Amino acid sequence: MTALAIETHGLRKRFGEKLAVADLSLTLKRGEVFGFLGPNGAGKTTSLKMLLGLIEPTAGSGTLLGRPIGDRVTRGRVGFLPEHFRFQDWLTGRELLRFHGKLFGLRGRALEARADQLLARVDLLDAADRPINGYSKGMTQRVGLAQALLNEPDIVFLDEPTSGLDPLGRLLVRDLIRELRDGGTSVFLNSHLLGEVEATCDRVVFVKQGRVVHELDMAVRTHGLEVELRVDGVPERLLAEHGTLLAHADGVVRLRVADEEALPRLAEALVRSGTRLYGMTAHRRSLEETFLAVMGEDQRPG
């Protein structure tokens, strides 16, 4: 068994004149929760559909669970919650799970038990025998999530899974994603919601106009520490020795430093140089700040 859940080289998708995905090369390890983050229209859904073998790439190649993308055997090991989940909505929640469970080869008691377990997990036992077309958007999303987990997949693709959910529903999805990871399942999460990604992902890739523009390891948190200083006069040379000067105006300086150890060193150097230091605060860059820095203000997420 390969250690990689996904590996792609130069995947590209063109729809007529429109280049939806320019050049996608990425790897995803087994058991990793991977966030694919970008504004609407960045090519997230198109990328995911290529990985699932639902649309043919214009160029490039890749493997999913160690086999070429589109491979039939692999499909049985994959779960998928589409962005606009609208399957057979005349069925009840339970009937929908039975139907999709049968497609995965589940039968009899095993199928009933799995459906019950998932309905309980997504908090739909009470509504299980009502038709889905009477469900709220959040309930529809949750039954879709249950559907994606029927086959106990090795990798789950979730396309904007929380966009229709209230805060409780979002919490449920977060917990579920953590459970999946703890059980060794890989998760590929498409999202334009930074909070969701920040709360759940091990690694994040930012996409813009079909290209990966930035990659972030959430465990390492290499995106640094930002310091705001209030000083009289800006000793630029001295500051540059301690970090990267981001901005300064009216005696307020913003500087990026590598880690916390830089703070006392910086304070000492400032005082020694005769600079009067009126304030010093440090904070870790949030995912949103990183996103805006990488994407530009025009790409503010929804």
Ligand X SMILES: Nc1ncnc2c1ncn2[C@@H]1O[C@H](COP(=O)(O)OP(=O)(O)O)[C@@H](O)[C@H]1O
Binding site for ligand X (CB under 6 A): 15, 18, 20, 38, 40-46
What gap in Å lies between CA 155 and CA 163, rounded to an integer?
A: 21
Helix (H, G, I), strand (E, B) or coil at 240: helix
Do the bridges between strand 203-208 and strand 33-37 make them parallel or antiparallel, or are there none, so unpaired?
Answer: parallel
Residue 83 or 116 having the CB closest to ligand X: 83
- In angstroms, what is the minimal distance from the CB of 216 to ligand X? 18
Question: Tokens for 288?
Answer: 């949103």
140 binds Mg ion (CB under 5 A): no
What gap in Å lies between CA 39 and CA 18, rounded to an integer?
A: 17
Q: Is 66 left (phi over 0), alpha (psi -120 to 50) or beta?
A: left
Residue 8 or 190 having the CB closest to Mg ion: 190
Residue 31 or 301 having the CB closest to ligand X: 301
Residue 37 or 253 having the CB closest to ligand X: 37
Residue 44 or 114 having the CB closest to Mg ion: 44
What gap in Å lies between CA 115 and CA 106, rounded to an integer?
A: 10
45 binds Mg ion (CB under 5 A): yes
Helix (H, G, I), strand (E, B) or coil at 17: coil
- In angstroms, what is the minimal distance from the CB of 38 to ligand X? 5
Residue 265 has a CB neighbour count (10 Å cut-off) of 12
142 binds, among ligand X, Mg ion, none (CB under 5 to 8 A by kind): none
Question: Tokens for 11?
Answer: 């995947």
Q: What are the beta bridge partners of residue 279?
A: 230
- In angstroms, what is the minimal distance from the CB of 206 to ligand X? 11
- In angstroms, what is the minimal distance from the CB of 300 to Mg ion? 17
88 binds, among ligand X, Mg ion, none (CB under 5 to 8 A by kind): none
- Residues forming the site for Mg ion (CB under 5 A): 44-45, 83
